[in-house]
Structures are given as structure tokens and as C-alpha cells.
Chain A
């Protein structure tokens, strides 16, 4: 009787695992992933300018990219800000509730989310802007930059605070 129970447990486990593997096989397993190249991806054709209010700030995703979520005309978009380390070294104040104007390459991920690979961010509240990429999409962290400020990620993960005013890529202004 015990062997029968074990057999049933094994069968159930195999069914569950086969179901999960089938799920992954048919393309649902990666529904949490965008399928986009968020590190170096950029396309000038899809560059748009969006305005909205910050809903949340994420210091770093699984690839180490800083991101923020923004409501733009009722649509939730994810703004990809670049490597977290870059934001640790340089600074701009971004906090939940700020109004932003984001210019960047827009893409829709396989998860259905709209991503903007930010090229330039303007904090409308503070009238501060920072260029993160050049016109061809090359990031200031990889193509070099002249930014000087500093950014510290405070203990609150949803709040990146500027410690000292600075410039990034020479395109910051107040």
C-alpha cells in the first residue's frame, strides 16, 4: 500500500513538473521577462518623448539596471535608467511623485510592458535634466561622460536622492 502511495505521489510530482515544463515550453514561463535588450539596446526609430509622474523607483533589476515606473497618460511605463553603479557614482534627485519628461527609445516587451530606454530625463518639478545616452543611444556609462555629481541610493529603495548637484554627460542644467 505504501508503494502505491509513493507511486501516486511520484506521478503527481511528475505531472506537476511536466505541466510546468510544458508551460515553459509553450512560452509562458518567461512571461515575467521582457525579452528586450535593456542593457545596450536602443533604436532611434522608436524615440519618443513621454511625460508622467513617478510611481516607483527601483535601484536595480536582475541585470543591475536602475528603473522607475511612471504613469504616462494612464499608461504604466518602465523607464530604464542605466546601470545601478552609474547611479551610485553620479547623481540626480528622483523620487516618487516627481513629474518627469522622458525622451528615449520605446519598446514593448514580451511581458506586454512598455519600456523606455531613457536618453534624456527632465525633472519638471525641479527643472533639472540629465542626458544618459547620446543621440545614437550609446550610454554615458559606456561611451564616456563628463558628469560630476554623486548619487546615493538611500536605505529606502524607492528613493534615489541627489547628494550634490552635478552633471552627467555635460548635458545637465538647471
Chain B
């Protein structure tokens, strides 16, 4: 589908490059809008689901962990009460307490029976039976009758659960102090900790992998869009090349007859019209050349080009334009700077950049062309003192058919980029610090022989 342009005299058969580009952009935007909207909605839904899942799993893990400690305490308390009850039964049957020595359990760190006076009536270490207990912690159990439980650290460095309970022995109340190993009972806490660690690790992993997948998809999406745009532009280039080929021959005839008329007609209105015909024919010829150059697929070239020679030629060539525009050009270039780029390409590159700068300096100004060597790279910079580049133009500055000029085709900078890319270099544009535009081209240098 080709956009149709309504003219005063009817329908214009050929679209201008700006209009074709506008059409393509609108087409791309419409397609992007159609594909982006449902994808964005799905992305938001997935994000909400992931947040809810994360919240739910975190809540579950923390709740499980917080309930594990009381469960472990209950286990220990239950075990202590069971052992105490069993020991009370054994002691009731054997008042000599000798039978208590045979009471074994893997969970018991030690056990002692303390009389009201503080004497150890029984201890799991027989050597301590009959000694005085070394602390008064048992007294609170005797006076209040309430169970005592706490975590204490033994001399071995182990933390044990110490349980103290009133113990009735032949009508007297003693205190049973029971220290239990906590490792087995705390298995539930270890499992809860493991669960929390696993859940949080998996959540972090999930989020990070999700982020990575999102980035990959975004990258792929951008590549697909870029590819589609390149394909469209390539198609446009093919059409343009055919058109240009068909236009060039009749254009040569128009220009020739225009020049003939310009020479033969006397000064006056008719001669002015003939000059207009020649000028516009030349502009069209230049546009046709640009389009042909842009659409031509060059083989990779590595011929060296001398920048000094090209700069000298351009200084002479552009002198009338510079003088007419009131622009002063300064060239800072070391002699014999060779780059891995053919001279005709260099000529075109610098001509476009300098012409661009001259056109930007409508009220005169200054252009500085600088060439510097940095190791195996040569940096060419063209700075002007004009109004600079508008920020919205920067992103698509080197794309074809993008121009802010009323009479430009928008191929100059695109051609520059094509030349630089073909030579394995790079080109960038920025607004210069002191105002104006700054174009920086980096090209591979041809090092003198013997240089590493």
C-alpha cells in the first residue's frame, strides 16, 4: 500500500521519502500498539500473581517458623513431665533411690534430686550424690510449687533444657532437676528453618530468573522490531533504486536542455526560470545519487585513505560556500594520517558532515575539523557553533529520510553512518559543551610499518 498525496492539480503519483517514512512509522506504531496491549496486560497479571505467590509463601514460611519454637518447647516439657512422673513412681517403690540409677534415657543430660535443705539425694553421676547443690535455683520451686524451666549452658558448652519440679518422696517434698538434651526435640525448628531458607532462596531465584527472562524477551522483542524496520527500509531502498534508475535518464535531458536555455536566453524572467530548472535538476540528481549510494550493497573494503589529502581537497572545494555563508573553518590535523577507509568514502563522509555544519550556521559562525590519533584508532570530530541538535532528533539522527531541513532528503547522515560502518568504525553526535553540534567519527588507523 502506497500513500496517495493530494495535490492542487490532482493526484501526485510519486510519494516523497518523508511521506513514505511517515507511512511506515504509522504502520509500525499501529502494529506495535496491537501487539503490546494484550502483552502488557498479561505481564501485569503475571506480576500480580508473582507478588501474591511471594507474599503467600513468605507468610506460610514465617508462620511455620514462628510456630516451631513453641512446639519444640512443648515436646521438651512433655518429655520432662513424663520422665519426672516415671521417676516419682520408681522412687515411691524404692525409697533407697537405688533403682533411679537404672533409669536411662538418651535425652537426659543429667538428673538430680534435691532435698529441701539443698542436699543432693540422688544424682546421675553417683560421685555427686550426698553433696550440697551449688545454687539456690531449686528453692523457688519448693516455695511456690510451680514448675521451673529454662535454658542453661553446661560446662561443656552445651545448652540444655533444665526442668525443675516438686518431687514427693515419702511425705517430703523435694525438687527434681532434670536437664535434657535439646537436639532431637529441636528437629522441628531445624526443619522449619530449612523450610524458610529454602522458600526464600527459591523465591529469590524465581524473581531473578523471572527478571532475566523478562530482559531476554524484551531484548528479543526489540531485535524483532529492528529487523522488521530494516526489512521495510530495505524494501523501500529497492523501490527507490528502481525509481532513481528510471528517473536519472530523463533528468539528464531536462538538466541539459535547462542549461542550454540558461546559456541562450537573455537576462530576464525566462532565464531565471531556466536557472531554476537547472538548480532543481541538480538537486534531484544529487538526491538520486544519494539514494543509489545508500541502497548499494558495498563489499567490505579495507583500502587505506589519507585524511590529510581529503581534508585539503575539501577545504578548497568548500571555500566558496564557507565564504558565502560567513563561516570560518579551522582544520587541526596531523600530517599523514591514514585510516582503513577508501578516500572516496572519506571524501563523502567529511563533505556531508561539513556541509551539514555549514547549513546549520545560517548566521555565520565557526567550524572546527579535528583529527587525532589514539593508538590504533583515529578520531575525527566536526564541531560547529550553531544552535546544536534538538534532543528529540538525536535518537534517529542517522536513520535515512530523517531531517529537520525543508529541502533535505535526510540521507546525508545516514550515508555517513553507512560509510563509517562499512569501514569498521563508529559515529556519534552530541550537543557540544559550548553550544552547537559535535560529530565524532572513529575509524581504524593504518599504522606505519614496523608499528605494533
Hey, what's the 0/1 contact readout for A1-17 against B, CB within 8 Å counting as 1?
A: 10010011001101100
Question: How many chain B residues have a CB neighbour from A under 8 Å?
Answer: 34
A151 interfacial contact with B, CB 8 Å: no
| A112 contacts across to B, CB distance below 8 A | 183-184
State A39–B124 Cα separation when bound (angstroms): 24
Q: Which of B123-177 contact A (CB under 8 A)?
A: 123-125, 127-128, 154-158
Q: Smallest CB-CB separation from A18: which chain B residue?
A: B204
Given A11-B212, A45-B179, A48-B125, A19-B155 contact (CB < 8 Å): no
Instruction: Compute how far the CA of A33 lies from the CA of B31 in the bound complex, rounded to whole angstroms.
Output: 63
Q: Are B212 and A7 in contact (CB under 8 A)?
A: yes
Instruction: Say which residue of A26, A117, A135 sits within 8 Å of B194 (CB atoms).
Output: A26
A22 to B204 alpha-carbon distance, docked (Å): 11
A-side contacts of B125, CB under 8 Å: 44-48
Q: Which residues of B contact A162 (CB under 8 A)?
A: none
The reply to whether B156 and A14 form a contact with Cβ atoms under 8 Å apart is: no
- B112 interface contact, C-beta 8 A: yes
B127: chain A residues at CB < 8 Å are: 44, 47, 135
Q: Which B354-377 residues have C-beta < 8 A from chain A? A: none
Give the CA-CA distance A108 to B181 in the complex, in Å. 7
Number of A-B contacts (CB under 8 A): 104
Closest beta carbon of chain B to A21's beta carbon, Å: 10
Stretch at the interface among B32-40, B195-203, B247-255, B263-271: B195-203
Query: Which residues of B in the span 231-274 have a Cβ within 8 Å of any Cβ on A?
Result: none
Size bin of chain A's contact surface: 35 or more
Query: Is A137 in the interface zone, CB < 8 Å from B?
Result: yes
Q: Quick one: which of A12, A19, A41, A45 contacts B110, CB cutoff 8 A?
A: A45
Q: Which of B184, B205, B219 neighbours the largest number of chain A CB atoms within 10 Å of its CB?
A: B205
Interface secondary structure of A, over-half rule = mixed
B211 within 8 A of A: yes
Mark A43-57 against chain B: 1 for CB-CB distance below 8 A, else 0: 111111000000000
- Is there contact, CB below 8 Å, between A15 and B201? yes
Given contacts A15-B201, A15-B204, A27-B193, contact A43 B156 (CB under 8 A): yes
* Complexed CA–CA distance, A21 and B208 (Å): 17
Asked whether any CB of chain A lies closer than 8 Å to the CB of B46, the reply is: no
Residue of B nearest to A105 (CB): B156
B405, CB-defined interface residue at 8 Å: no
Given contacts A15-B208, A107-B157, A117-B156, contact A7 B197 (CB under 8 A): no
**A43 and B183 contact, Cβ closer than 8 Å, known pairs A7-B215, A23-B197:** no
A167 within 8 A of B: no
Q: Which residue of A lies closest to B158 (CB)?
A: A107
Which of A18, A46, A107, A135 has most chain B Cβ within 10 Å? A46
Query: How far does the alpha carbon of A77 sit from the alpha carbon of B357 in the complex, in Å?
Result: 88
Sample 16 A-B pairs with CB under 8 A, ordered by A number. A4-B219, A12-B208, A15-B204, A22-B200, A23-B197, A26-B193, A27-B193, A36-B156, A36-B157, A44-B125, A45-B109, A45-B112, A45-B179, A46-B125, A46-B179, A48-B125
